[in-house]
Structure 1
Amino acid sequence: MMDEILIQALSGLSRGMVLFVVASGLTLIFGTMRIANFAHGSFYMLAAFLTYSVATMVGDRTWGFLAALCLAPPIVAGVGALIEWGLLKRIATRPHQYQLILTYAITLIVADGIKMLWGSDYRTVARPAGLDGAITILDMPFPTYNAMLILVGVLIAVGLHLLLTRTRFGKTIRAAVADGEMIGALGVNVQRLFTGVFALGAGLAGLGGVLAAPVGSVSLGIDSSIIIESFAVIIIGGVGNVMGALIGAVLIGVVHAVGILFVPKLAIAFVFIALCAVLLIRPQGLLGRNT
C-alpha cells in the first residue's frame, strides 16, 4: 500500500510541476501588475494546440515535440506582449474591473479562435521516443515522461530563482512586486517592464501547455481547469512569490493525486479544503508578506 501511495504522490508531483510552471507566470503578472489575468489559461490552451499542430507537421514524435518546445512558448509570449501593449496598457489607469472584464473577454476570443482553427474535437500528442516507457521505483512502474516533468519543474524553479535574484530584470520585477510606484519614481520604464513581465508570464503558461500536451487530451476547456488551479496555487503560496507558487503547486498536485487513491469522488474537494485552511490560518499565503 505504501508503494502505491508513493507512486500516486509522485504522479501528483509531476502534475504539480506543470501547474507550477503555469502558475509561476500568473503570480509574476498578478504580483507585478496587480492584474488577475483570466486569459492566462488561454495561453496554456493555445500552446497545447500549437504543440499538436507542430508535432503533426513534423511527423517524428521526438523532433515534433522538441520543435513545439522551441516554438510554442515564444509564440505565446509574443501574443501576450501584443495583448499587454495593444490592450491592457490602454486601460491601465482605469479601475481594475475593466482589466478583469478585458482579460475574460480575451479568453472567449481565444477559445472561439481555437475552435475555428482546430475544431472542437479532442486531440492527442504522442510522447517523445525514449520517454514513453516507465522506470521502476520500489518494484512499481512510474512513467518516464512524468519523471522528466518533475526534473523540468525543478530546473524551471531554479532558473526563475536565479532570474529574479541575480539579474537586473529580475530584481526590478521583485521591486515592482514590493512597491510598483517607487520603481517608477526611480526612473524605471514601468510600461516596458509590464510588457516584459506579461510576455514572460504568457511564455511560462505556453511552456506548461507544451509539457502537458502529451499527458492528456488537447481540447477546448482545458483553459478553465488550469486557471482555477493556478489561482489556488498563488493564493496558497502567496501573491508574487515564485517559491510560494512551487510549494502551492506541489501541495495541490500531491493532495489531489493521493485523494484520488482514497476518495476519488472527493479528490478535488481536498484541494479546496487545503486552500480554505491556508486562507483561514495564513491569509497572505504560505510565503506571502503581511500588508
Structure 2
Amino acid sequence: MELAELGECLSSVSCIVTQSAAGLTIGMLLFLVASGLTLIFGVLGLVNFAHGSLYMIGAYLALTVHGATQSFALAVVAGTLGTALFGLFFERFLLSRIYGRDVLMQLLVCYAVILILDDLVKIIWGADFRSMGVPEEFRRPPFIIGGGIVPYFYAILFAITAAIAVLLAWGMGRTRFGRIVRAAAINPGMVGALGINTTVIYAAVFAIGAGLAGAAGALSAPIRSVVAGAGVSILIESFIVTVIGGMGSIGGALAAALILGFTRSFGSIGFPLFVEGAMFAMMALVLLLRPSGLGGKRPS
C-alpha cells in the first residue's frame, strides 16, 4: 500500500487533474464496451461472453485500416462498422439459436467463439503485440490545467466517447426505435403482436452493441497494446461494470464505468498491487447491498 502517496496526490490540484483525465478516459472507453454488453442482455436476455472478442476485432480492424490509410477517422469508422457487421452475422447465424437456453449453453457457445476468434487473429495478424501509436494529427502539446497534464489525445478520446454516450442515450430515450427496443426488453410478445418484427429488432440491437465494443477497441488502439486474447481482460472489467451498474441499465453502466476508471487511475498510486482486487471488492459489496446494481430495477 502506498496510501501516503495517494494522500499527497489528493492534496495536489495538478495530480488530481492528471489522474482524473486518465480515469475519465479509461472509464468512458470501458463504458462503450459495457453499454453494448448491458444493452444486449437487457433486450435479448443473452449473456454474451464473447463480447470482449468484438472489442478485439474492432482494434485489429482499426489497426489495419490505419496502416493502409494513415487516417484515424477512417480507422475508427472501419472498426465500428466492421465489428457491427460481424456482430450481425454472429447473432443471426449462431447466437439466435440459443436464445432462452440455459446460461451454461450460452457460456459454452460463446467460449468456443472466443477460442476460434483468438486463433483466427493469430493466423491473420500474428501473435505478437502490436500498437498503432498516437496518430500524427494528435501529437500536440498537452493541456495544462491547474498544473496538471491532460494529454491532447486523451481529451479527444473523452470528447468522442462522451458524444457517443449522449447519442446512445438520445437514441434509446427519444427515438421511435429506442422506444421499441425498450418495449421489446419488457414484453417482446406484445411488441410482436403489434406487427413489429422482433427478429429485426434483436439483430439491430446486437449489431449496435457489437459496434460499441468495436468503437472502444478502435479508439483504444493507439494507447493500448493490440494482441490476440486482448478481449478477455476487457470482458472481465465489462462484467464488473454491468454488475455494479445493473444488468440492462445504460445509466448505471456509465456511473459504474467512471467509478472503475477513477479506481484504476488513483488506485495505481495508492494501492498498485490491489487495483484489480479493489474492483472485485466493489462488485462484491454491491451484490451484497444492492443485488440489482446501481441502476437496475429491484425485483418487486
- TM-score between both structures, scaled by the size of structure 1: 0.94
Aligned to 1:198: 206
Mapped to 1, the partners of 2:78 and 2:20 lie a distance apart of: 31
Distance 1:4 1:187 in 2: 56
The yes-or-no answer on 1:14 pairing with 2:22 is no
Q: Deviation at 1:131?
A: 2.1
In terms of mean alpha carbon deviation, does 5-14 or 245-254 score higher?
5-14
Aligned: 1:289 with 2:297: yes
Q: In the alignment, what sits opposite 1:114? A: 121
Indicate which of 135, 144, 163 corresponds to 1:155. Answer: 163
Please state whether the residue corresponding to 1:214 is helix, strand or coil: coil
| Residue 181 in structure 1 maps to residue 183 in structure 2 | no
Name stretches of at least 5 consecutive residues in structure 1 with no aligned partner: none
CA contact (8 A) 1:85 1:195 kept: yes
1:265-290 Cα offsets, whole Å, 9 max, x none, are 11121111221221111110111101
Q: In the alignment, which residue of structure 2 is the partner of 1:77? A: 84
Contact 1:44 1:207 in 2 (8 A): yes
Asked if 1:30 is matched to 2:38, the reply is: no
Unaligned runs of at least 5 residues, structure 2: 1-8
Is the Cα–Cα contact under 8 Å of residues 45 and 100 in structure 2 kept in the other structure? no
- Please tell me the residue identity of whatever aligns with 2:145: I
CA contact (8 A) 1:257 1:267 kept: no
* Distance in 2 of aligned mates of 1:269 and 1:185: 47
* Structure 1 segment 263-282 matched on structure 2, within 5 A: 263-282=271-290
SS for the counterpart of 2:228 is coil
Taking the aligned partners of 1:172 and 1:102, their CA distance within structure 2 comes to 28
Aligned to 1:49: 60
Deviation at 1:198, TM superposition (A): 0.6
Correspondence for 1:223 among 209, 223, 231: 231
Q: Indicate the percent of aligned positions where both proteins have the same amino acid.
A: 41
- State the partner residue of 2:267: 259
Structure 1 distance, partners of 2:100, 2:281, is 36
- Equivalent in the alignment of 1:123: 130
Listed one character per residue, the Cα deviations across residues 229-284 of structure 1 (whole Å, up to 9, x for unaligned) are: 11111111111111111101000110111111111111121111221221111110
Give TM-score scaled by structure 2 length.
0.91
Q: Is the 8 A contact 2:17 2:150 kept in 1?
A: no
CA RMSD of aligned residues (A): 1.4
Q: Tell me the CA shift for residue 93 of structure 1.
A: 4.8
* Correspondence 1:101 to 2:112: no
The offset of 1:49, in angstroms, is 1.0
